[in-house]
Structure 1
Amino acid sequence: MNGSAAPRPHKRLGEGDHGKTLAAMVRAACPEVSWAKARELCRTGRVRVDGETVFDGAQRLATGSTVEVDQTAPRRACPVLDPTRIVFNDGGLVVVDKPAGLDVVSADARTQPDSLTNRLALTLRSPRAGATEPFPLYHLDKALTGLVAFATDRQARRTLARQFREQTPVRRFSVLVWGQATAGRIDRPLHTDSSGRLHVWRGEGQPPRQVRSATTFVRVEATLNGATLLVCESHGLRRDQLQLHLAFAGTPVVGERRYGVPALEPAQAQIAAQQSRPMIHAAFLALSHPRHNRLIHVTAPPPPTFTSTVAALRNAERRS
């Protein structure tokens, strides 16, 4: 009798699968599984992507990823945060380097318990007097990576929330865009239409009722093959501000498909096809410490997916 375990269903994403959700690929690997069951398998930690357990069935995947399903594996709860992702922890302020594919706050804790806030709460679990559940001081889109600041007690929450209301903290982002970007300032208001979609207001006609001011400062870090590596700064960042402002400037973010995709050369198109998320990384945060009010600076290097994309564009430049 052969005692080896039966092979687990798995599926490698081909060109036509790029951008599909994890739940969809679970169903591709296990055709007998319903949508509800596919999402449950993800939520309970029985699905791996390239060897790593992923809890979010809505996460979109890139060409070349391999999804493995183990329906007999033990159910797993939401994981704690990898301690190495806590880059600052002092005086009621915690700064975390968020990975891609993880919400800062879960939209529905019952059906999708995994979030950066929940992971951090499980990791800290402090009996200290005055401690509270971690409170995120701003939002970072699920697909993006980088620094997110949390207040972990009531005093720090009041002090830090005031700083962000007054827009005194400085946030800088490493951003990879298509085209030849130039340094400068993009000062264009944003507004939301009736369907909830965001737009840049171009200053024509009567301003929309929901228009909000937005300013992005742009510095060129490196010029690549048909692309530019930028450092973007904002004191009061609004949702999708970088994507909208940079697309408005004619240099859309690499990996961002909602606000226009430019015509690309074959080498660039090949690199673009491998991107499953926008190449934006929150790399720098400066703010006043909530206890002693001294200015602190926190940094986080871009993840391997970001640096490898930059390297691929540099290599394409050498070959051309």
Structure 2
Amino acid sequence: MIKYTTRDIVAILRLFGLATDQTGQRDISYVQSRAPADHSTIVAFVYQKNHYYIIHDDDIEDNESTASLSVAAAYGEQSGSLVRNPKETDFTAYGMPYKGKEVYLYKATPTTMRLDVLISQRHPELSRSSWQKHIKAGHVQVNGSVVRTPRTEVHPHDAIVITMPESTQEKVALPVLYSDNQIMAVSKPAGMLTHTKGGIVPEYTVKDFFETHYLSDDRSDRTGIVHRLDRATSGVIVGGRTKEAVAELQRQFASRRVQKVYVAVVQGALPQPEAIIDVPIARNPKKPSTFRADSRGKSAQTRYRVISTRNGYSTVLLFPKTGRTHQLRVHLAYLGTPIVGDPAYGTGNHSDRLMLHALQLTFTNMQGEEVIVKSPLPDEFLPYIQDTSAITALN
């Protein structure tokens, strides 16, 4: 690759009649050099707020289309045109002799796009909403200045520097309940996020654990994740180790072929020892982060079975047929028996944690075999249960 200095760039601009004797090296900024082929060098730079490319390529032969292709090979597709050689007055020519070589000057047509769109296209490993939060947090510089507005219009060849914050995550070794070369299931503790919601969260999540075991290249802010548990819920969660496994598990969840069993401790006594709760659920407009029973909501069904009643509390097995957000918590609160420790749908008293545990998942692995995965019952549940045989007998 031939090296071009800012002094060379100023000299070439003068040859093309775009700079004067007063133009100095300080007027040139954001210089980049790339060699898309052994015989070519393309130098990108900014001058008077315009983007230019100096092309040294033996194959150009004064052909504008070939020059455009050369620029595209180095920096991606650009709109623009070659600057004419002003010294050739009898016919159109573009090449300019410089230090024994022929160079071309390509001026890009100004094209801009939103900063968040450009970054998310270049770095699809994070969602656009994630990049918006990074921009607002001051983690992105454009042409040497911090930009905090995601909709800022930028040119594709503006100098964009991303400085990600140092991770403060403390890695957690989650108990692995099942693992093969395509699928993994782990036991999530209460208090851990399944994944972030596009924000900047400096805490370790289930997604981070799955990512360390992920085998495909398509990583994102939800690598391996196919379903989720609320932060306050503990228990089994399954994920894919390859993009093929992720797609297959997502299909199984979407078609309700995955069987889920939860255990919960609730306040009071259920109206019947075993029944199906068939009550639609909708978002609560008065408190949008929560949901409520609503006849106009989405269909939701939960089967339950009481396995223990003790000291004013009931322990129930829950078999959700649908997977609405907060479904189990809403359904049990609707019956007047909220889950112990639930601050959103109950009193939040009686326990330091939400007494809801994802006990068992049944799914089909990539070999077509049925897999049943159980997560051990947390110790906090034991004082509420007289007999655990109903749990150990699950299959």
TM-score range, shorter chain: 0.5 to 0.7
Normalising by structure 2, what TM-score? Answer: 0.50
Aligned to 1:288: 364
> Which one of the candidate residues 351, 354, 374 is aligned to 1:299?
374
The yes-or-no answer on 1:252 pairing with 2:342 is no
> Which one of the candidate residues 216, 227, 236 is aligned to 2:313?
227
Larger Rg: 2
Aligned partners of 2:276 and 2:301 also within 8 Å: yes
Aligned to 2:279: 188
Aligned partners of 1:132 and 1:153 also within 8 Å: no
Alpha-carbon distance in 1 for matches of 2:381, 2:349 = 14
The yes-or-no answer on 1:200 pairing with 2:293 is yes
Look up the equivalent residue of 2:269 and give its one-letter code: Q
> Which one of the candidate residues 98, 115, 135 is aligned to 2:205?
115
Aligned to 1:82: 173
Runs of 4+ with >3 A deviation: 107-111, 128-134, 308-311
SS in 2 for 1:247: helix
Alpha-carbon distance in 2 for matches of 1:169, 1:281 = 17
Deviates further, 298-307 or 162-171: 298-307
- Residue ranges of structure 1 left out of the alignment (5+ in a row): 1-74, 262-271, 312-320
Deviation at 1:309, TM superposition (A): 5.2
Percent identical among aligned pairs is 23
Alpha-carbon distance in 2 for matches of 1:119, 1:159 = 20
Aligned to 1:276: 352
Normalising by structure 1, what TM-score? Answer: 0.62
Alpha-carbon distance in 1 for matches of 2:170, 2:176 = 15
Look up the equivalent residue of 1:294 and give its one-letter code: E
- Residue ranges of structure 2 left out of the alignment (5+ in a row): 1-165, 387-395
SS in 2 for 1:138: coil
Residues 102/129 of structure 1: CA separation in 2 closer, same or farther (3 Å cut) = closer
SS in 2 for 1:135: coil
Deviation at 1:104, TM superposition (A): 0.4
Alpha-carbon distance in 2 for matches of 1:298, 1:135 = 17
Alpha-carbon distance in 1 for matches of 2:234, 2:308 = 20
Q: Within 5 Å, which residues of 2 pair with 1:300-319?
A: 300-308=375-383, 310=385
Aligned to 1:317: none
Alpha-carbon distance in 1 for matches of 2:345, 2:362 = 29
Aligned to 1:106: 196
Residues 238/281 of structure 1: CA separation in 2 closer, same or farther (3 Å cut) = same
Aligned partners of 1:102 and 1:116 also within 8 Å: yes
Aligned to 1:156: 245
Aligned partners of 2:268 and 2:337 also within 8 Å: yes
Structure (1 or 2) with the greater helix fraction: 1
| Greater RCO (CA < 8 Å, at least 6 residues apart) | 1
Residues 295/150 of structure 1: CA separation in 2 closer, same or farther (3 Å cut) = same
Aligned to 1:97: 187
> Which one of the candidate residues 122, 130, 143 is aligned to 2:232?
143
Look up the equivalent residue of 1:104 and give its one-letter code: T
RMSD across aligned positions (CA): 2.3
* Cα distance per residue 1:121-144 (max 9 Å; x no partner): 23x2x5x56685742111100011
The yes-or-no answer on 1:214 pairing with 2:290 is no
Aligned partners of 1:132 and 1:152 also within 8 Å: no
* Cα distance per residue 1:67-109 (max 9 Å; x no partner): xxxxxxxx984233325x1111114111110001110002356
Alpha-carbon distance in 1 for matches of 2:216, 2:279 = 45
Aligned partners of 1:169 and 1:235 also within 8 Å: no
Aligned to 2:11: none
Aligned length: 215
Alpha-carbon distance in 1 for matches of 2:201, 2:322 = 32
Alpha-carbon distance in 2 for matches of 1:242, 1:160 = 22
* Cα distance per residue 1:116-164 (max 9 Å; x no partner): 2113323x2x5x5668574211110001100111111011111111111
Deviation at 1:115, TM superposition (A): 1.1
